[in-house]
Amino acid sequence: MSADVFSKVKEILNNIQNEKVGNLNDLESFRIKYLGSKNEIKSLFGEIKNVENDRKKEFGQLLNDVKQSAEEKYELLKASLGSALTDNENTGIDMTAPCEPISFGSRHPVSIVMNRIIGIFERIGFTVAEEREIEDDWHNFTAMNTPEDHPARDMQDTFYLKDSTVELLRTHTSSVQARIMTTQKPPIRIIAPGRVYRNETISSRSHCQFHQVEGLYIDKGVSFADMKQTLLYFAREMYGPKTDIRLRPSFFPFTEPSAEMDVYWGLKTEDDHRITKGTGWLEILGCGMVDPNVLTNCGIDPTVYSGFAFGMGIERQAMLQFKITDIRQLFENDARFLKQFSGVI
């Protein structure tokens, strides 16, 4: 009888040593089996009464050894499995599995070009002014010296809101000039990026919504030469340090004199010929000295202050830069198109 319980204890000791514990679930089963409230060793303590007196001590000792070895093994395993919680079997997460592909967004080509332009002017002290897209007739036209009968006011060009001829979607960012000049005192040095709207037929070359960046610099003694130098700096930052520019006389109601600035693009490829209509020159922006009437309209004394302004479209520059041939692609938000710009900032 006593030999039986002895061999039973030895068997349990063996089992404890051979027990395979590979994860936290196994460890919990191990604990319940050998250290839990109804564990296998406990039941053997009750067998002491059946052991011969002269072997009772030996038996008790053996049971204690078994219990201790179960405890030791448990502590050891707990420590090692606990520190390896990242192991796939412990957490249910397979750390070796390839991760779900993370799909990063990309900057829109219009934003890329707009941010680049903003950066160039910020470096020489211009600050960004953002204003409303829903404008009134005064800021968009009247203040900007655009007469009542100017064709730009025509319903054909301007989106008027709620059947009113007062509320409209701004047709250019020049409206921001009026917003700023009526609320800030010179010196003023701002660039105003934003979306503008014109009631035009949508085609591969024109859209009813597009983006512009406006610039305005008002101070005492600002000259045409200041404007030319500022724009030359811009052209060279944007299109390369050797870029040439030319200013062609032009007309805008809000500037006098007015000009359009071209950059020399070159005539190396067939594309260059097509894009520049065989001239090598590309028109980039409109500019001029702020018309004294505009200053007066906005409460700035033209006998004290002068300034220059410029405005440029973004889409065409983005199309040139990224060789996009249809402006509509810029407004469709087709992920396959936009993905091509990932990583470009």
Q: Which of 136, 137, 214, 315 binds ligand DAH (CB under 6 A)?
A: 214
Query: How far is 81 from 95, CA to CA, in rounded Å?
Result: 16
x/- mask, ligand DAH, residues 139-178, rule CB under 6 A, reads ---------------------------------x-x----
Site size toward ligand DAH (CB under 6 A) is: 11
CB 264 within 8 A of CB 281: yes
Of 193 and 286, CB closest to ligand DAH:
286
CB 282 within 8 A of CB 263: yes
Helices within 199-328 (DSSP H only): 224-239, 270-275, 292-297, 315-322
The least CB distance from residue 344 to ligand DAH, in Å, is 27
Q: Is 317 in the site for ligand DAH (CB under 6 A)?
A: no
Of 110 and 309, CB closest to ligand DAH:
309
The least CB distance from residue 287 to ligand DAH, in Å, is 5
Residue from 126, 179, 129, 143 nearest 291 by CA: 143
Of 5 and 294, CB closest to ligand DAH:
294
Q: Which of 255, 276, 306, 317 binds ligand DAH (CB under 6 A)?
A: 255
Residue 137: strand, helix, or coil: helix
The least CB distance from residue 330 to ligand DAH, in Å, is 18
Q: Is 194 in the site for ligand DAH (CB under 6 A)?
A: no
List, in sequence order, every residue forming a beta bridge with 289; answer none if it has no partner. 308
Q: Which of 309, 314, 319, 324 binds ligand DAH (CB under 6 A)?
A: 309
Q: Based on the number of CB atoms within 10 Å of its own CB, is 151 exposed (0-12), middle (13-18) or buried (19 or more)?
A: exposed
Q: Is 311 in the site for ligand DAH (CB under 6 A)?
A: yes
Q: Which of 66, 70, 287, 298 binds ligand DAH (CB under 6 A)?
A: 287
Residue 274: CA count within 13 A, CB half-sphere? 6
Q: Tally Cβ neighbours within 10 Å of residue 174.
A: 29
The least CB distance from residue 194 to ligand DAH, in Å, is 12
User: Which DSSP string corresponds to 51-64?
Assistant: S-HHHHHHHHHHHH
